Amino acid sequence: MRVLEPTPALDSVTPAWHFPSTLIDRLRLADGREVVVRPVLAFDAAAAQDFVRALSPASRLRRFHFGLRELPPTLLRAMTDVDHRQHVAIIAEAIDADDEARIVADARYVVGPDPAEAEFGIAVADAWQGLGLGRTMMRRLARHAARHGVKRLVGDVLPDNAAMRAITDALGGRLVRSPDGTGVLRARFDLRA
């Protein structure tokens, strides 16, 4: 009788691709609205660009620290076509009145040259801020990072960013002066496995 070859492990077929389905969830926000949180995928590029374009200039500045209006194509691709290991990104989607899904928040980290440390970035659409979404997404991102070997999450925060300072505090992080001397603060979360 012919014995079939064992199927190779999925990871050996697609080494760069891993889908973290544990990051999928539905959240009810403080005002009763619901969003679905899930890892970003390459086909989200157009929606991700719409999300960035729709942010207020102040929110875009706080997120990217320079005055961009939209993401340049290479950055857009880098932010949506991610490997879900070195670069982990979650989005929150809401369904609008036309039954279309729209991105209302984005949180991510990229593991650095030192694999113990990853840099995070987060943004919530202006009309969805102050409802607990930012804090919840940061908490989930930090939990996922800790489970996958990251020991520290760091990110630059403009000094006037009260919401990000509050999140850092609430999640047990610390704010220190950024080493580059620009006055930007560095949020640092020491993660436990």
Ligand X SMILES: CC(C)(COP(=O)(O)OP(=O)(O)OC[C@H]1O[C@@H](n2cnc3c(N)ncnc32)[C@H](O)[C@@H]1OP(=O)(O)O)[C@@H](O)C(=O)NCCC(=O)NCCS
- Name the residue nearer to ligand X (CB basis): 38 or 63: 63
As measured in angstroms, the least distance from the Cβ of 100 to ligand X is 21
Residues 91 and 37: beta-carbon distance below 8 Å: yes
For 37, the enclosing helix (H) or strand (E) is strand 34-39
Site for ligand X in 134-163 (CB under 6 A): 134-135, 155, 157, 161-163
Q: Is residue 167 at the binding interface for ligand X, with CB under 6 A as the rule? A: yes
- Name the residue nearer to ligand X (CB basis): 83 or 169: 169
Q: Map residue 27 onto helix, strand or coil.
A: strand
Q: Is residue 122 at the binding interface for ligand X, with CB under 6 A as the rule? A: yes
Q: Is residue 172 at the binding interface for ligand X, with CB under 6 A as the rule? A: no
- Name the residue nearer to ligand X (CB basis): 14 or 182: 182
Residues 102, 35: Cα–Cα separation, whole Å: 10
Nearest residue to 155 via CA among 109, 101, 103: 109
Residues 145, 116: Cα–Cα separation, whole Å: 10
Q: Tell me which residues touch ligand X (CB under 6 A).
A: 59, 62-63, 121-124, 129-135, 155, 157, 161-164, 166-167, 170
